[in-house]
Amino acid sequence: MTTPPRPSPIYDQYAIAEIQRAAATGIYDIRGGGTKRRMPHFDDLIFLGASMSRYPLEGYRERCGTDVVLGARHAKKPITLKIPITIAGMSFGALSGQAKEALGRGATIAGTSTTTGDGGMTEEERGHSQTLVYQYLPSRYGMNPRDLRRCDAIEIVIGQGAKPGGGGMLLGQKITERVAGMRNLPAGIDQRSACRHPDWTGPDDLEIKIEELREITDWQKPIYVKVGASRPYYDVALAVKAGADVVVVDGMQGGTAATQDVFIENVGLPTLAAIRPAVRALQELGMHRKVQLIVSGGIRNGADVAKALALGADAVSIGTAALIALGDNSPALEDEYRKLGTTAGAYDDWHEGRDPAGITTQDPELARRLDPILGGRRIANFLSVLTMEAQAIARACGKSHLHNLEPEDMVSLTMEAAAMTQIPLAGTNWYPGKPGA
């Protein structure tokens, strides 16, 4: 008898291939997307539903509200969205103009907001987005005061979940004349965005910045502060102290257009672990539900939406799932993915600009493949399904509004999830670290 070949779980095929690739090229691996390894996530929580001790609502007859108001703390014009699911900031440059337009169209049909990104605001998205959040980023690429006044809210980006502490990348092949013009950069040259704002060194400067932005916009627009999940308890508290109307916490599973693989997989805090500390910071400051919390990073379906809200978020934001809804990684493009050395479901070379779906590209021929009107409808359909799924779960838990979902509606499937969320392990009333347990 012979022993079957035994691959190592440590030196698995990916680890071996990466060592070989690194040795052959001498450069680190860059890719798009979020974490690919298994880590604690929303799948590790489930809802209990209702039976005797809880009373469910009737699916097709009893209302389950979905609206959310963002930014009422200080802004004269807070934002009201029909659904608590927004489109996350994704840069023009990373995405084609057609993709930005489709996101705006879809968000508008669904009654929600979309967000600009590194590189500034395009006419396509401003023109087709009823509610547009304008990102104010460390790089300041594409930033101008006129656009600050044309948006509906401002999001100061401190960091992103995929790379807290890291800056962005846009490789030369995607820097066309138009992208370069908007960023005041030469075309065709690799660009690296700053990892921190040029004019501040800490949270006190954030307070000054927020006031400056409020003055420019006559205190009309809500000001969001976006942080990559890292130390959410302290970061959320500091953002609230600095005057934020809304705080966005983007977990480690969050997507990026282009970052080092080693960064994506090894830096940050899983989304699941970031929500409770963020909520606790708001609660301790008496600001929960007054300063809204938006959570992002790995939201794929209505259950994820419902779980984030039950943990205390006011809304969620989606990036990667929106791109997939637009057609990214579609099996219909399998032949083209094969030519790029990958397969549908695994395509992540978004930085290369050769996306056969026409989404993460600046190649005019490829970009033309994406019909923004059809794309907008797909986004609207997807947002509608996410909402209906979350409502189905909320009704089963007896809730007449998605915001009435609460931690008590769920149990944890793993010890890790229980420890991270303080939601008891299924079948027990215990979680690791429970006081007195």
Ligand X SMILES: Cc1cc2nc3c(=O)[nH]c(=O)nc-3n(C[C@H](O)[C@H](O)[C@H](O)COP(=O)(O)O)c2cc1C
Kindly list the residues in this chain that would bind ligand X in the complex (CB under 6 A).
32, 34, 88-91, 94-95, 117-118, 135, 157, 160-161, 226, 250, 253-257, 296-299, 318-321, 350, 360
Nearer to ligand X, 255 or 424 (CB): 255
| Chain centroid to CA 33 | 11
- Can you tell me which residue has the tokens 């923004």? 372
DSSP state of 253: T
CB 294 within 8 A of CB 270: no
Q: What does the DSSP assignment read for 102-140?
A: HHHHHHHHHT-EEE--TT---HHHHHH-SEEEEEE-TT-
Closest CA to 133 of 257, 352, 360, 294: 294
Nearer to ligand X, 108 or 320 (CB): 320
Least distance (Å) between residue 321 CB and ligand X: 6
Least distance (Å) between residue 270 CB and ligand X: 12
Please tell me whether residue 228 adopts helix, strand or coil conformation. Answer: strand
Nearer to ligand X, 29 or 404 (CB): 29
CA distance linking residue 57 with residue 39, whole number of Å: 34
Least distance (Å) between residue 301 CB and ligand X: 12
What residues does 250 pair with on adjacent strands?
228, 296
Least distance (Å) between residue 318 CB and ligand X: 4
Least distance (Å) between residue 152 CB and ligand X: 17
Nearer to ligand X, 15 or 385 (CB): 385
Pairing verdict, β 315-318 and 292-296: parallel
What distance, in Å, lies between the first and last C-alpha atoms of the chain? 52
Closest CA to 302 of 312, 316, 319: 316
Nearer to ligand X, 160 or 421 (CB): 160
Least distance (Å) between residue 436 CB and ligand X: 37
DSSP state of 404: G
CB 225 within 8 A of CB 158: yes
Nearer to ligand X, 181 or 432 (CB): 181
Least distance (Å) between residue 81 CB and ligand X: 17
Nearer to ligand X, 282 or 295 (CB): 295
| Residues in CB range of 235: below 8 A, 6 or more apart | 158, 227, 249
Nearer to ligand X, 294 or 402 (CB): 294
Least distance (Å) between residue 92 CB and ligand X: 9
Least distance (Å) between residue 328 CB and ligand X: 9
DSSP state of 226: E
CA distance linking residue 331 with residue 350, whole number of Å: 17
Please tell me whether residue 9 adopts helix, strand or coil conformation. Answer: coil
Nearer to ligand X, 89 or 424 (CB): 89
Name the closest residue to ligand X (Cβ).
319
